[in-house]
Structure 1
């Protein structure tokens, strides 16, 4: 039944397109079009009346024919004027059914044409938003399932007596709980991002003790991974105006990401220095992992992206997106730079991420 209706609709659309003549599209005002339509209809009626009189057609027969032909002429012109409105009605009905792929053909430059263009742009944005919503639900469901399944399995083993409630077993349960808590925190941050409800508590941050504090927290969260942490700040008393909590979140996410992808015994460098221009500061995080491909360098800062390749590192794909958001709040930038190691540079991959913060925060 549905396929039959769709076929009938497509056939009706093709017929409508053949009858859709738009000679008035060149005019920029719908009121001007109406005026031309009225003038043209009156002129056609007058011309047909004159022709019928010269042809000797009886008035009782000529009058209905003139009116009918004038109505047909008016219908042909008005159909082209109002066809975008009909297309928008059809597209809106399709949107109500969840189909955002319909677009309106906007050929005129008047108010109706502008409305049709705006409608098509809105439909495109709604299609992207709906796609993002579906991806978000699917990704969140997947990300929640992993720690919940691990936590449930561990607790079931403890309840059934398969595993003794020793510190090691409880540590596994705690790790999964912390992972779940982190995901929830990330989602809350993203909801604040989308709502635009953010306030910065700006203070002067001394980077040397600050970065050591963040590194200590990241090392603890790394769960004993075999990596070395190296912090270098030049000059040692370097400071930057920032929201300490948000900046901590940025650097911690970068360090956590670096630790997940570092090889055993790898080194993670955290360096800070003045930028080449002005009084801004750049903070670099560089690990010895496989790096991010050149074509994926912009995508990794999007939600649920992991450098363009699948991994089992346990990341949520939200850390870098939140880092970009928090850096943007400070008026700064975050990007993947070329790797200084020659072998990685030849491959086009890099694990060097730079955060640049201005010396003066933008006005709210």
Structure 2
């Protein structure tokens, strides 16, 4: 059985993906909404102010033309500024209203942005008196100042909204990051960690609901896994007695080929039961290392020679480590058995400081197992007819965790070779920690270079 801890596809997606923070997304959204609202309000205010000023200008022109009409009818002379009798430039629409006997005003927008105000009134002699003025400079200045104030206000709204978005998004992002970190700790095997307690805070929001849901899910999964572990352990424990009796009975059979076959299968069944029990104990996270100081290179050389004399051992750099020799020997034996079963000779074991590498020259680890990691009762054979039960590397990985070590797997390819090319072998690497596990089982994980 072959395995690997981190999916390559996930790592590639993480490298290729574009990561953006929640605070910046929220800030951009608030800034965009603020800009749209500011623009809409600015247009409404600008148009309302312009309409109001034009109405005032029309009322003023209407009053002035009435005064000019009275003066003209009393004195017979046209002495009021900007007034004319039967002005040929009078707009046609305004002329028709006045000829119908109505006093009216009119606003005309000329090319170039100039605005003209017209007021006209019918005279008793049938002529038309009109007053023609432009939009005053003071009104234009007021509109210009108003537009400037609206622009400044819109910019302030956008900047303020962005700052508010950063603050709100930052607070929410921090809570989510704390929740994610706590969830990763739970996934890493710390069942006592509570996501809801990790995020803290007094005011409850959707983040607290999410954290509570994650805690509930983690509790349910933990209970389920514990129930499965107990069932597996109980079944394996109950099988030990009949399997032992089967081995004893097989020894009483008369010598011969059938007897050898029965004894071989009974021994394989006992090995399977013992492996299942060991996996159940490792899953319970109750195993503790019994530490001793050993010289790693010498220890590995002797154990490999006893386990597989054909394997080559090379000590690049000797070191003294504090670890559990029995568990380390178990990890090493399983890696060697895996290489012998699924790989091809020569099997090479290299010791360099605190790092042990076991390499074979076979077809390499299956890609699905590299992606998903060691899995019990699954081998590299697609038709499930391969040799072994898939427990070897599962036990090796579990024992490595008890030692505070890290066990990784990879395929060996020539330098510069493409991923599609077949590998030249498989390598399992055991990274022993710099500091040994404590009595409580806690330990720092080693950093990969």
For normalisation by structure 1, the TM-score amounts to: 0.50
Greater C-alpha radius of gyration: 2
Question: Which one has the bigger helix percentage?
Answer: 1
Greater length-normalized contact order (CA 8 Å, ≥ 6 residues apart): 2
